[in-house]
Structure 1
C-alpha cells in the first residue's frame, strides 16, 4: 500500500459500527445505527398476503378458522427469518436495548401500511355514502375532497409477567410502543395486565398456545390509569361520536395470534365496561 493511501486511511473518519452485524460499514440513511448492507437485507413485509394476520405467505390458520376474531387485522414489519430471529434474540434475551429505537422505527413501517390501508377503506366508504346522497353545491362533501389520514387513538403494549420483567429488566412491547407513540403522537397506556405467568411460547404447538393464553390477560383497573384514559377519551369525544375507539395492540412477534386474541378480548371487556365500543388492531415487529 502506498504511503498516500496509508495517510488517507489515517485522516479519514472511521466508519461507524453497525448495531445489527457489529461490523464497520457505510451507515444507512433510512435506519440510523445500521449499515447499508444490513438495511438492504431486511425482509420487509410490504404486501401482506393474508389480510387478517398480515402473513407474507399462504396462511392456513386464518382460512380454516371459523371462530370470530376480536381484532380487525394484524400488520407486521418484517418476516421472522433466521436473521431477524438472531436480531430479536440480541435485543430481547441478551439485553441489547440499543436496538429498541431501530426496531421501533421498523415497526413504524408496519403502521404506515396499516394507515394507508385503513385510509383507503375510509375513502371508499365516503365515496359509497356520498353516491347515495343528492348532490348539493351549497354543501359539498369536504371530507371526501380532503379525506384525513386514518389515525389510531391509542396504543396498548402487551404486558409481560413480573417474572419475565425481572429476568429481562424491560418490556420489549412497551419500548417499541414508546417509539411509535413519539413518532405518531398517539398516547400509549398500559391498559392490560397479566393474571398469571406462562412458559415460553416458542416451544409450544399452536393448540397448546391457544389453550395456554386463555384468560391470561385482564383490563388494568388501576384508578390513576383509568383517570388518564378518561381524560383522553374526553379529549377525542368529537371523533368518537361517529366511530368506535381505535386501539392498536403492540408486540414484538406474531406467531399463532393467541396472545393478540387474548389481549383484544380483555380490551373489549374493559372499554365496554366504560361505555365505549372499540375497534382493535395489532402491530408487531415480526410475523413468523
Structure 2
C-alpha cells in the first residue's frame, strides 16, 4: 500500500489546496497560504459564533432578534476568507481530500467547546438523495467523519434525512431560506434523537438550515443541539 501511495504521489504530486502550488513531502499547504489563514476570533456571537465588530457586543443582529432552535454554534473561518475556495472546491469540484484538512482545523478550533457541549454524536446536514447521487458524496458527512475521527465522537449520517429537493440556498435571503426549508427534513428510518447532538455543515450564513435540522431533532427527543461549520458569514 505504501508503494502504491509513493507511485501516486510521484504521478500526481500534492498541491496546495488554496493556490495550487506543488508541495514538498509532508506538507498539506504552502507556507504563504498558511500564513494567510485567519480563524474567527473574539469577539464572537454568543449564540451562532459569527465574528462581531464590537467587544461590548454579545450577539449578532440575527441572534439578537430571533429565536434559534439550535443552542450554540461555532464557525472556524470567515466566509470571505481564503478558505472559502477550499470549501467550494470540496462542495462543487470533487476535491474531497479537502475535507480531511478542513476537518482537522474544525476539530482543533472547537475542542474547547467540546468539553462544555459534550456531544454524544455528530450529525452531518443531509443532502437530498437526488443531489447526493449527482455529486457522489455529501461534503458535510466527509467533514463530520474527519472531525469525529479526531475527537473520537461517533457520526450518524442517517439520523436525519432530507425529504424533498429544495432550491439552492446560496442566493436566497433569510425569509426565502426559511420558507425554502419548511418541512425539508425528517428523522431517518428507525432513528431516535437522544442526548446532545453536534450538527456539522460546510457553511453557516443565516442559520436557516441549522434551525430546520435542529427543530426536527429537538421535536424527536434530542437534548442540546450545537452547530459546527468550516466557514461562517458575517454580513447576513
Q: 1:171 to 1:48 in 2, by over 3 A?
A: farther
Q: Name the structure 2 match of 1:180.
A: 147
Q: How many residues were matched structurally?
A: 214
**Secondary structure, counterpart of 1:182 in structure 2:** helix
TM-score (normalised: structure 2): 0.83
Larger Rg: 1
Q: Which runs of 4+ in 1 moved over 6 A?
A: none
Structure-2 change in CA distance of 1:16 and 1:193 (3 Å): closer
Partners of 1:25 and 1:186 lie apart in 2 by 31
Instruction: Give RMSD over aligned pairs.
Output: 2.2
Deviation at 1:261, TM superposition (A): 0.5
> 1:25, CA displacement in angstroms?
5.1
**SS of equivalent residue, structure 2 residue 212:** helix
Q: Does structure 2 conserve the Cα–Cα contact (< 8 Å) formed by 1:249 and 1:280?
A: yes
- Work out the CA distance in 2 between the residues paired with 1:22 and 1:212: 36
Instruction: Give the one of 39, 48, 55 matched to 2:50.
Output: 55
Q: Whose helix fraction is larger, Structure 1's or Structure 2's? A: 1
Superposition pairs of residues 125-204 of structure 1, within 5 angstroms? 151-189=118-156, 190-204=158-172
Q: Report deviation, 1:80.
A: 0.7
Q: Deviations over 1:131-155 (max 9, x none)?
A: xxxxxxxxxxxxxxxxxxx632111
Please state how far the C-alpha of 1:82 moved relative to its aligned partner: 5.2
Secondary structure at 2:48's aligned position in 1?
Answer: coil
Q: Which runs of 5+ in 2 are unaligned?
A: 1-12, 54-59
Spell out the pairing of 1:262-273 with structure 2 (5 A cutoff): 262-270=212-220, 272=221
What residue ranges of structure 1 are gaps of 5+ in the alignment?
1-14, 119-149, 234-244
* 1:173-214 superposed Cα distances (whole Å, 9 cap, x missing partner): 100000111111111112100111111101111110011111
